[in-house]
């Protein structure tokens, strides 16, 4: 199924805009898992199974797997999500960006090797660096636009002639690059004014919003700024506040509680 359709169906069926980000920091895994050779997979799989009914998407962050030499565990994790929780799209957070011939290899990595339903991509290299991803017409491509970190302003907030750089990225995405209808944008929860501006520019395009939870973004402000006309349109990511809600053998139950509470807090503002 097309990523956009799967996402829309999941927003409805799970009644949730929450995405759980899978950023397994080896230093923060529960102690009882430390000895296992597949600790990362075991941890993430339990988080997934405990939170699946509260989410619209899962978003594994590839850096945590790559740093730990655990690409095979990432493959197994995505396969597990697809097999045990069919219908929940997986966004591979990779933020790749390269020239066409290399971008084709990264697209192959994300969509064929890992079987991701969508991937995050950096727009700095422009249109032809994005096209190889768009050729996978049933997959989603989510471009960085206005990121949640402090340094995000260094370039993204520069005035490029009557608008900011992030607004230009949003406009290019909405007006010129979205022929396949499979683009989304990343806009940080810490900047609700910019979320509102991106929503205005892009119509109903899905926005991936990191930065609630550990990074401090305000849920009500995100919803007010970013929900689309039907009260969806947002993929609101929380990683650390859910993954590390508990640190004992009951970590999955603690994560489930945190995910359900976050979903409820989001729905209260829709």
- Contacts for 161-170: CB closer than 8 Å, 24+ residues apart: 166/194, 166/198, 167/197, 167/198, 167/201, 169/123, 169/143, 169/144, 169/145, 170/145, 170/197, 170/198, 170/201, 170/202
11/136 with CB nearer a second copy: 136
CB of 95 to a second copy, least distance (A): 5
What pairs with residue 118 in β-bridges? 91, 140
CB of 199 to a second copy, least distance (A): 21
CB of 16 to a second copy, least distance (A): 24
168/263 with CB nearer a second copy: 168
69/229 with CB nearer a second copy: 69
3-state SS, one letter per residue, for 164-216: EHHHHHHHHHHHCCCCCCCEEEEECCCCHHHHHHHHHHHCCCCEEECCEHHHC
Tell me the C-alpha to C-alpha distance, in Å, between residue 61 and each of 5, 6, 9: 23, 20, 24
Residue ranges of E strands in 110-174: 118-121, 140-146
Given a contact cutoff of 8 angstroms between Cβ atoms, the answer to whether 205 and 186 are in contact is no
Active-site residues, by number, are 95
CB of 230 to a second copy, least distance (A): 30
Among residues 200, 162, 184, the alpha carbon closest in space to that of 234 is found at 184
14/117 with CB nearer a second copy: 117
Tell me the C-alpha to C-alpha distance, in Å, between residue 65 and each of 77, 115, 135, 242: 11, 16, 26, 18
Binding interface with a second copy (CB under 8 A): 23, 25, 61, 63-64, 66-67, 69, 71, 95-103, 105-106, 108-109, 112-113, 122-130, 144, 147-156, 158-161, 165, 168-169, 172
CB of 168 to a second copy, least distance (A): 7
84/112 with CB nearer a second copy: 112
């Amino acid at each position: 199924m097309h990523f956009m359709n799967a996402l829309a169906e999941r927003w409805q069926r799970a009644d949730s805009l929450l995405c759980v980000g899978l950023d397994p920091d080896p230093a923060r895994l529960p102690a009882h898992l430390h000895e296992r050779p597949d600790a990362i997979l075991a941890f993430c799989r339990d988080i997934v199974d405990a939170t699946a009914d509260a989410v619209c998407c899962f978003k594994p962050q590839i850096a945590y797997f790559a740093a730990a030499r655990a690409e095979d565990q990432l493959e197994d994790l995505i396969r597990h999500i697809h097999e045990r929780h069919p219908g929940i799209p997986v966004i591979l957070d990779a933020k790749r960006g390269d020239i066409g011939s290399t971008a084709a290899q990264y697209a192959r990595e994300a969509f064929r090797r890992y079987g991701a339903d969508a991937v995050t991509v950096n727009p700095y290299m422009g249109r032809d660096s994005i096209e190889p991803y768009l050729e996978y017409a049933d997959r989603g491509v989510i471009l960085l636009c206005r990121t949640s970190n402090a340094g995000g302003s260094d370039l993204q907030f520069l005035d490029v002639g009557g608008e900011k750089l992030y607004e230009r990225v949003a406009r290019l995405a909405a007006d010129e690059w979205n022929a396949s209808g499979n683009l989304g944008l990343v806009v940080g929860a810490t900047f609700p004014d910019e979320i509102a501006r991106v929503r205005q520019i892009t119509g109903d395009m899905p926005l991936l919003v990191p930065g609630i939870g550990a990074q401090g973004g305000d849920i009500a402000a995100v919803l007010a700024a970013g929900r689309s006309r039907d009260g969806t349109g947002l993929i609101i990511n929380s990683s650390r506040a859910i993954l590390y809600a508990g640190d004992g053998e009951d970590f999955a139950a603690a994560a489930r509680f945190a995910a359900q509470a976050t979903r409820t807090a989001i729905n209260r503002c829709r």
